């Protein structure tokens, strides 16, 4: 079983609720996912708030456009690693997503843009991971092969890893090696509802299959005590 890290998906409607949650789970969670909902509402403010708290940010915007546009977006994202106030505790952007459906040229452009901008700014390059197939998509006979093809393309294009469900994680790990990162969303404790996710898994199952990062949202966000829910999941991961 691989040692994996927990990512809390900060999929909330208001900053005030996000702030309360961040404070409540601060001693348990180090990595937070900022997706389209929060970033559309608050922009870089939400990422910089987390970074000023010395938290790692997984920027999950799934960039997918023509190569030049995605390269420019990635360049802007790398710029989020620079503290506007020169805060010594400010944490550089940890990881971001692009969509593998954009093709090789787009993926390679994103890697080159990230490397060049990180060097120009004197900051670490964030990890780049490619989204393969959304976990809300129903499973069919071709899903595993499509995910593997997109994961292989991501690796060949220079990305650090991919986002994939637990059902494809073992295949990716076997075919693409031990150093290629796998981020697995749709993680649910045994007693939790799968909600709108079609391909879900428990923390243990994901780790058994080779996942490096486990993304959890609603089982923590909607819990009576988010901190206790996070600690329970971390306990499952340690066991």
CATH classification of the domain holding 151:
3.20.20.70
Cβ neighbours around 40 below 10 Å, total: 9
Q: Give phi and psi for 97, each to the nearest 5.
A: -115, 145
62 is catalytic: yes
Q: How many domains does the chain have?
A: 1
Stated as kind and residue range, the H or E segment containing 215 is strand 213-216
Give the H/E segment covering residue 5: strand 5-9
Residues ≥6 apart with Cβ < 8 Å to 130: 97, 98, 99, 100, 107, 150, 151, 153, 154, 157, 159, 161, 162, 163
Active-site residue identified among 33, 55, 62, 75: 62
Residue 51 domain boundaries: 5-238
| pTM recorded for the entire structure | 0.93
Would you give per-residue pLDDT tens digits along the chain (239 residues)? Answer: 568 999 999 999 999 999 999 999 999 999 999 999 999 999 999 999 999 999 999 999 999 999 999 999 999 999 999 998 888 889 999 999 999 999 999 999 999 999 999 999 999 999 999 999 987 766 666 889 999 999 999 999 999 999 999 999 999 999 999 999 999 998 988 665 545 455 568 899 999 999 999 999 999 999 999 999 999 999 999 87
């Amino acid at each position: 079983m691989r040692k994996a890290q927990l990512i809390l998906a900060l999929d909330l409607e208001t900053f005030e609720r996000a702030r309360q949650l961040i404070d409540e789970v601060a001693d348990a969670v180090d990595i937070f996912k900022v997706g389209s909902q929060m970033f559309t509402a608050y922009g870089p403010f939400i990422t910089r708030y987390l970074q000023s708290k010395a938290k790692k940010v997984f920027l999950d915007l799934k960039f997918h456009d023509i190569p030049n546009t995605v390269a420019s977006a990635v360049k802007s994202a790398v710029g989020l690693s620079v503290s506007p106030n020169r805060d010594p505790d400010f944490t550089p952007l940890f990881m971001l997503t692009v969509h593998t459906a954009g093709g090789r040229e787009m993926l390679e452009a994103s890697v080159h843009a990230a490397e060049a901008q990180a060097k120009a700014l004197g900051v670490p390059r964030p990890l780049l991971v490619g989204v393969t197939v959304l976990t809300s998509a129903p499973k069919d006979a071709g899903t595993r092969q499509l995910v593997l093809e997109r994961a292989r393309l991501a690796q060949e294009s220079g990305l650090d890893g991919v986002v994939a469900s637990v059902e494809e994680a073992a295949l990716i790990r076997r075919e693409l090696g031990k150093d290629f990162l796998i981020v697995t969303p749709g993680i649910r404790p045994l007693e939790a509802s799968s909600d709108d996710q079609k391909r879900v898994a428990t923390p243990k199952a994901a780790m058994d299959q080779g996942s490096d990062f486990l993304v959890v949202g609603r089982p923590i966000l909607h819990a009576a005590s988010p901190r206790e829910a996070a600690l329970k999941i971390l306990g499952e991961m340690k066991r």
